């Protein structure tokens, strides 16, 4: 077998039996999640009644994988091992364990490996072994000219279509962020009936305006994703639409407080991924939080949470200062470590 594009992989999963090993890796959380979900659903349909999730982060003991693969299940003949490899780098022990598995896959077993980071430098003998034994699905960022087709395909899945002008406006609005694009299309599907004809530019602008309250989610997502350039633009748009700082702080505080909690778990050596699963987070949200946690030490997240309270006092007139500028400084600090140094030095 060989490397396969995500779109072709989704078709193959629907049409063929699952191979013994699959690696889905890349810095597009939405695509990685949807490809992995397709594998999990297919495994369930094919009778893989037992699923074990392994988080290969930090000092993960790779014997857990080899011992699990070697053990016999008392409850299900077919097993899915769901291995999360956030960094995309298994290390020496992990590489050896994966190569051994690929050389002699256990019967009635599928090993699904997902990674939220991938480049040509991540590849090695372990990924070559996966390519030889199963499917390797690298998820590369979409190029600018590929985004319109991706959006059009996504719209069709929801029973919708758009004129070229409306599609071009949607491309501008999502700025290459596939998670934001998926959210926009989901909102359009809620606001429109299937088969209503192509969405024109005027309709798109009207619907986007009606759903503008969702932009606070994009604001915080941009900061957590490290997309510092988007933060001032989204803030300016919200301010122009008449939003108030106080109305933006609830979601901001909630997200930062959650991450501060996970940062505290990480600081004491706990299993962050297990805590995230216990909180019933979507995989895309887990990936977003994980990347944000890697950007700052735990102490910074505690300080960010305190800073939200300071912004709130400004917004309510209980402290001096420009609440809009303070919120922008805070979110830029979340997005960019250098900006965080300036904020936290005060």
Report, as an integer, the average pLDDT of 192-209.
Answer: 81
Burial class (CB in 10 A: 0-12, 13-18, 19+), 23: buried
Show the tokens assigned to 328: 């922008």
Of 58 and 26, the one with more pLDDT: 26
Report, as an integer, the average pLDDT of 209-229.
Answer: 77
Strand 79-84 and strand 109-115: the pairing is parallel
Provide the edge-to-edge strand list for the sheet that holds 21-26: 50-55, 79-84, 109-115, 21-26, 135-139
Is 343's pLDDT higher than 70? no
Backbone angles phi, psi at 269, to 5 degrees: 85, 15
Return the bridge partners of 55, or none. 84
CB 187 within 8 A of CB 214: yes
Is 81's pLDDT higher than 50? yes
- The sign of the CA dihedral 196, 197, 201, 204 is positive
pLDDT tens digits, 245-274: 888 888 898 899 999 999 999 999 889 988
Band the pLDDT of 214: cuts 50, 70, 90: very low
Report, as an integer, the average pLDDT of 93-116.
Answer: 90
DSSP 41-69: HHHHHTT--EEEEEE--SS--THHHHHHH
Report, as an integer, the average pLDDT of 89-104.
Answer: 90
Q: What is the mean pLDDT of the chain?
A: 86
Three-state SS for 163? coil
pLDDT tens digits, 296-307: 999 899 899 999
What structural domains does the chain harbor? 6-139 (3.40.50.300), 144-210 (1.10.8.60), 223-344 (1.20.272.10)
Please list, in sequence order, all residues whose beta carbon lies within 8 angstroms of the beta carbon of residue 220, skipping any fewer than 6 positions away: 251, 252, 255, 331
Q: How many CB atoms lie within 10 A of CB 312?
A: 20
Give the range among 176-185, 209-218, 227-236 with minimum mean pLDDT.
209-218
* Residue of 234, 232, 228, 233 lying closest to 216 (CA atoms): 234
pLDDT tens digits, 166-179: 999 888 877 778 87
CB 189 within 8 A of CB 183: no
Share of the chain above pLDDT 70, in %: 92
């Amino acid at each position: 077998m060989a490397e396969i594009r995500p779109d072709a992989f989704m078709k193959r999963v629907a049409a063929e039996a699952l191979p013994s090993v699959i690696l889905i890796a890349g810095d597009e959380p939405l695509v990685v999640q949807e490809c992995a979900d397709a594998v999990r659903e297919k495994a369930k349909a094919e009778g893989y009644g037992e699923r074990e999730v392994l988080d290969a982060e930090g000092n993960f003991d790779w014997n857990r994988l080899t011992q699990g693969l070697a053990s016999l299940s008392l409850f299900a003949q077919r097993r899915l091992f769901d291995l999360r490899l956030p960094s995309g780098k298994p290390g020496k022990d992990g590489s050896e364990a994966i190569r051994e598995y690929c050389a002699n896959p256990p019967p009635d077993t599928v090993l699904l490996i997902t990674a939220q980071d991938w480049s040509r430098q991540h590849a090695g003998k372990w990924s070559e072994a996966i390519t030889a034994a199963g499917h390797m699905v690298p998820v590369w960022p979409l190029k600018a000219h590929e985004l319109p087709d991706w959006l059009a395909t996504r719209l069709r899945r929801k029973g919708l279509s758009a004129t070229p002008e409306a599609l071009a406006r949607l491309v501008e609005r999502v700025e290459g962020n596939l998670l934001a694009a998926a959210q926009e299309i989901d909102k359009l599907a809620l606001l429109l009936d299937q088969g209503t004809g192509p969405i024109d530019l005027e309709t798109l602008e009207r619907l986007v305006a009606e759903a503008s309250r969702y932009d606070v989610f994009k604001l915080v997502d941009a900061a957590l994703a490290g997309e510092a350039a988007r933060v001032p633009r989204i803030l300016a748009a919200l301010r122009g639409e008449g939003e108030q700082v106080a109305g933006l702080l609830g979601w901001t505080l909630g997200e930062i407080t959650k991450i501060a909690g996970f940062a505290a778990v990480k600081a004491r050596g706990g299993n962050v991924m297990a805590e995230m699963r216990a909180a019933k987070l979507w995989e895309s949200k887990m990936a977003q939080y994980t990347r944000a946690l890697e950007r700052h030490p735990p102490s910074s997240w505690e300080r960010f949470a305190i800073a939200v309270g300071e912004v709130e006092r400004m917004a309510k007139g209980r402290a001096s200062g420009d609440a809009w500028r303070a919120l922008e400084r805070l979110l830029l600090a979340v997005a960019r470590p250098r900006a965080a140094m300036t904020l936290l030095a005060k």
